Amino acid sequence: MSDELVTLRDHLLALMAEKDKRDEQRFEAQEKAVRDALLAAEKAVAAALTTAKEAVAKAETATEKRFESVNEFRSALTDAQTRFATSDAVHSLEDELDRRLSALRDEYLRNHVDLVKRVEANSEVIAATTGTSAGTMRIFLVAAVALSLFSVIAGIVDIISR
């Protein structure tokens, strides 16, 4: 009977050794699978980091270009703005033009009144000495007034062109 017990004992020890061996193999297989998974994850993270770095570099370059464009646009606006007339300069110019136009208007009125008086006086003299009708004298008067208007318009154009 002791042979049977020894054999049973050996058999149980052999079964336990096989189970230990299978457990060890399973453990090693799991350990290898975890190592492989960690290695794959590490590679994936490294690839993702590289891609992220490249994306950041591209974004920084694009941002720099955009800011360069914005700065160029700002510079162009500033240059253009310095060429614009200020409201004070425009008001000053308007005041000067108003003053000149008022002076021209006053001069025109003085000249017109003086011219009308002269033409009337001359037309009476001419009519009396030549026997010309009053209608003809009125035509000369209209021509003289038109000539004076022309001289005023020429003066205004001269002032504006300066």
- Average pLDDT (5-23) is 87
Above pLDDT 70, what percent of the chain? 86
Q: Give the model's pLDDT for residue 31.
A: 95
| Number of other CB atoms surrounding residue 123 within 10 Å | 19
- What pLDDT was estimated at residue 130? 67
- By the 10 Å C-beta count (0-12 exposed, 13-18 middle, 19+ buried), 134 is classed as exposed
- Let me know whether 103 and 67 are in one domain: no
Residues 77, 1 share a domain: yes
Can you give the residue range of the structural domain that contains 148? 86-162
Domain end, chosen from 84, 116, 145, is at: 84
pLDDT of residue 1: 47
Q: Place 18 in a pLDDT band, splitting at 50, 70 and 90.
A: very high
Task: Express each pLDDT in 93-150 by its tens digit.
Answer: 888 888 888 888 888 778 777 777 777 777 666 666 766 666 676 777 777 778 877 8
pLDDT of residue 126: 67
DSSP 76-122: HHHHHHHHSPPHHHHHHHHHHHHHHHHHHHHHHHHHHHHHHHHHHHH
Which of helix, strand or coil describes residue 84?
coil
3 pLDDT above the threshold of 60: no
Final residue of a structural domain among 84, 115, 140: 84
Please check whether residues 7 and 80 belong to one and the same domain.
Answer: yes
**Pair (95, 75) in one structural domain:** no
- Residue 34, both tokens: 């975890």
Q: Are 14 and 90 members of one domain?
A: no
Quick check: pTM over 0.85?
no
Question: Same domain, yes or no, for 143 and 96?
Answer: yes
